């Protein structure tokens, strides 16, 4: 049985029972979807952010950098970087200090990019939300694909010799030794840790939750009001142009992955092929106009274009493969 | 009590960084700390600090908070620590 079944019962009760909207009507479906997804994703969000708080505590960005500088990993350092990108949470706000921090520590540019690509591509939602929303098969395939894009992208960028496109003044700076933040190095007891993770996670949940509600709202509208045959006619797997369209629509936008998931959920429910929907989400989460503007401060246009180009191609290939396989 | 505190917020200019700046200003005012909160978007400064995540809250040249998980309470605690 679906562990989320009680939530379905509850939202059925609220929408069809208490509110008295008709089951199967446009409005009824919309309201039911909204209540169900807000509760379900809200609960998952609390859970995920708790795990992320633990990850941040035990695995700060500096640790990833140190692991990559200390060993050569027998040429496996691209894979290592991509794997580290998964466990380290990432916000595009941090992309500059991270990029410079990695390069400054002597990590090759291709390996740095492998990290930079995988970090937003494979994230808390693809690891923990996908299994709950789309099943294990999709979750595993997606994460493997993400890894492959990051590793291959990193290797290609290394081969292209792009160092000349980095704004050189920035690499001259020697950074001071990392200052110990938070807790001043004091060890916390297990009980304190449990509370610390909770507080840390809730801060993020509170910040994201309004956007999740917004995302669920959009998803609910799609779910309730967009006719199935319209989707079937124009967006089915047979039309090859839908994947590129999804990527180009998604790339300039930025939204938190958790708030895009309800929209995906609704689109898949309408019969839009999963690959197309995944491509859309990945493009939104991985690439964005704000991120481009931030990265532009440290890299020249050609490198920015290469980075975006490789990532876009990777996402499209993933979209097509999903449509083809599933 | 030490009222001579230097408070800086470092960020690359993302919305989260601005949020930290706004919250910090608010807390400084609340705690009646006599100092102007400085907002630094200069990448070179950020690199010099050696931080890997932004935004960063710096009090008296010491990094006290880094990354996007902050709230009013955390900022308040850090500033109180510096004040007393």
> What is the per-residue pLDDT for A179?
43
CB A273 within 8 A of CB A322: yes
pLDDT bracket for residue A183 (50, 70, 90) = very low
Q: Residue A135: phi, psi to the nearest 5?
A: 95, 165
Would you state the pLDDT for residue A145?
92
* pLDDT(A1) > 70: no
pLDDT at residue A155 in the model: 92
Residue pointed to by tokens 């930290």: B20
Q: Does B65 touch chain A (CB under 8 A)?
A: yes
Cβ proximity of A110 and A154 under 8 Å:
yes
- Substitution target in A104, A181, A195 with the highest count of B β-carbons within 10 Å is A181
H/E stretch holding B39: strand B38-40
The pLDDT of residue A320 is: 92
Which comes out higher in pLDDT, residue B28 or A55?
Answer: B28
What pLDDT is attached to residue A238?
A: 67
What is the pLDDT at residue A143? Answer: 92
Q: B45: closest CA among B76, B10, B69, B78?
A: B10
The per-residue pLDDT for range B21-60, each reduced to its tens digit, is 888 888 888 888 878 888 888 777 777 777 777 788 888 8
pLDDT in tens, A6-31: 888 888 888 888 887 878 788 888 88
H-type helices in chain B, by residue range? 15-30, 43-49, 72-83
pLDDT bucket at A317, cuts 50 / 70 / 90: very high
Above 70 in pLDDT, residue A90? no
* CA-wise closest residue to A213 among A34, A52, A6: A34
pTM for this structure? 0.80
- Taking alpha carbons only, the member of A285, A286, A280 closest to residue A322 is A280
Label residue A227 by pLDDT band (50, 70, 90).
confident
More confident residue, A237 or A167: A167
CA distance A175 to chain B (A): 5
Whether A108 and B23 have beta carbons less than 8 Å apart is answered as: no
A206-222 pLDDT tens trace: 878 888 898 888 888 88
Residue A178 has pLDDT above 60, yes or no: no
Residues forming a β-bridge with A166: A299
Predicted local distance difference test score (pLDDT) of residue A228: 76
Which pLDDT value is given to residue A185?
Answer: 47
Q: What's the average model confidence in pLDDT over A248-254?
A: 84
Note whether B71 contacts A176, CB cutoff 8 Å.
no
Q: By C-alpha distance, which of A13, A4, A62, A70 is closest to A37? A: A4
- How do residues A143-159 score in pLDDT, each as one tens digit? 999 999 999 999 999 99
Chain A to chain B, count of Cβ pairs less than 8 Å apart?
A: 95
**Strand bridging mode B38-40 / B7-10:** parallel
Which of B12, B16, B76 to substitute to test the interface with A, most A CBs within 10 Å? B12
Q: What's the mean pLDDT in A185-204?
A: 77
Q: A296 to chain B: nearest residue by CA?
A: B12
- pLDDT, tens only, A61-76: 777 788 888 766 666 8
pLDDT tens string A278-293? 999 989 888 888 788 8
Instruction: Give the pLDDT score at A176.
Output: 46
CA distance A73 to A81: 10
What pLDDT sits at residue A5? 83
* pLDDT value at residue A305: 93
Q: Let me know: does B44 contact B67? Beta carbons within 8 Å.
A: no
Please give the C-alpha separations between residue A119 and each of A94, A314, B41, in angstroms, as whole numbers: 11, 15, 23
The pLDDT of residue A312: 93
Interface of A with B in 49-88 (CB under 8 A): 53, 56, 60-62, 65
Q: According to the model, what pLDDT value does residue A124 have?
A: 78
Q: Is B57 helix (H, G, I), strand (E, B) or coil?
A: strand
Instruction: Report residue A251's pLDDT band, with 50, 70 and 90 as the boundaries.
Output: confident
Query: What is the chain B residue with the closest CA to A181?
Result: B64
A17/A110 Cα distance (integer angstroms): 57
Task: For A107-117, write each residue's pLDDT tens digit.
Answer: 888 999 998 88
- pLDDT at position A184, please? 45
Burial of A321 (0-12, 13-18, 19+ CB in 10 A): middle
SS3 B61: coil
**Cα separation of A33 and A266, whole Å?**
9
- Total Cβ atoms within 10 A of residue B65: 22
Q: What is the mean pLDDT of chain A?
A: 82
Chain A residue at shortest CA distance from B58: A181
CB contact under 8 A, B12 and A177: no
């Amino acid at each position: 049985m679906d562990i989320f079944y009680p939530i379905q019962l509850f939202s059925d009760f609220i929408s069809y029972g208490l509110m008295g909207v008709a089951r199967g009507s446009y409005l009824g479906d919309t309201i039911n979807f909204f209540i169900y997804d807000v509760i379900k994703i809200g609960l998952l969000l609390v859970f995920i952010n708790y795990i992320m708080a633990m990850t941040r505590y035990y695995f700060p960005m500096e640790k990833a950098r140190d692991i990559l500088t200390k060993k050569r990993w027998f040429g496996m350092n691209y894979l290592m970087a991509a794997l580290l990108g998964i466990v380290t949470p990432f916000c595009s706000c941090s992309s500059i200090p991270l990029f410079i921090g990695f390069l400054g520590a002597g990590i090759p540019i291709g390996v740095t990019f492998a990290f930079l690509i995988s970090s937003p591509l494979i994230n808390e939602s693809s690891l923990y939300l996908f299994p709950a929303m789309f099943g294990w098969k999709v979750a595993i395939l997606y994460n493997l694909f993400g890894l492959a894009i990051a590793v291959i992208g990193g290797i290609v960028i290394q081969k292209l010799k792009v160092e000349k496109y980095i704004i050189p003044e920035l690499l001259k700076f020697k950074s001071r030794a990392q200052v110990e933040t938070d807790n001043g190095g004091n060890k916390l007891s297990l009980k304190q840790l449990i509370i610390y993770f909770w507080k840390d996670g809730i801060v993020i949940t509170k910040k994201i939750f309004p956007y999740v509600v917004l995302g669920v709202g959009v998803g609910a509208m799609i779910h309730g009001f967009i006719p199935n045959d319209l989707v079937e006619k124009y967006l089915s797997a047979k039309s090859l142009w839908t994947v590129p369209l999804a990527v180009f629509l998604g790339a300039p936008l930025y939204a938190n992955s958790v708030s895009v998931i309800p929209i995906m959920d609704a689109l898949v429910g309408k019969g839009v092929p999963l690959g197309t929907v995944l491509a859309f989400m990945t493009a939104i989460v991985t690439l964005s106009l704000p991120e481009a503007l931030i990265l532009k401060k440290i890299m020249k246009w050609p490198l920015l274009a290469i980075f975006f180009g490789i990532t876009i191609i990777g996402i499209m290939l993933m979209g097509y493969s999903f449509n083809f396989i599933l | 009590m030490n009222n001579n505190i230097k408070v800086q917020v470092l960020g690359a200019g993302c919305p989260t960084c601005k949020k930290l700046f706004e919250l910090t200003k608010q807390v400084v005012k609340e705690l009646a700390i006599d100092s102007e909160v400085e907002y630094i978007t200069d990448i070179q400064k950020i690199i010099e600090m050696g931080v890997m995540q932004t935004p960063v809250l710096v009090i008296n040249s010491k990094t006290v908070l880094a990354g996007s998980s902050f709230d009013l309470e955390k900022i308040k605690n850090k500033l109180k620590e510096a004040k007393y």
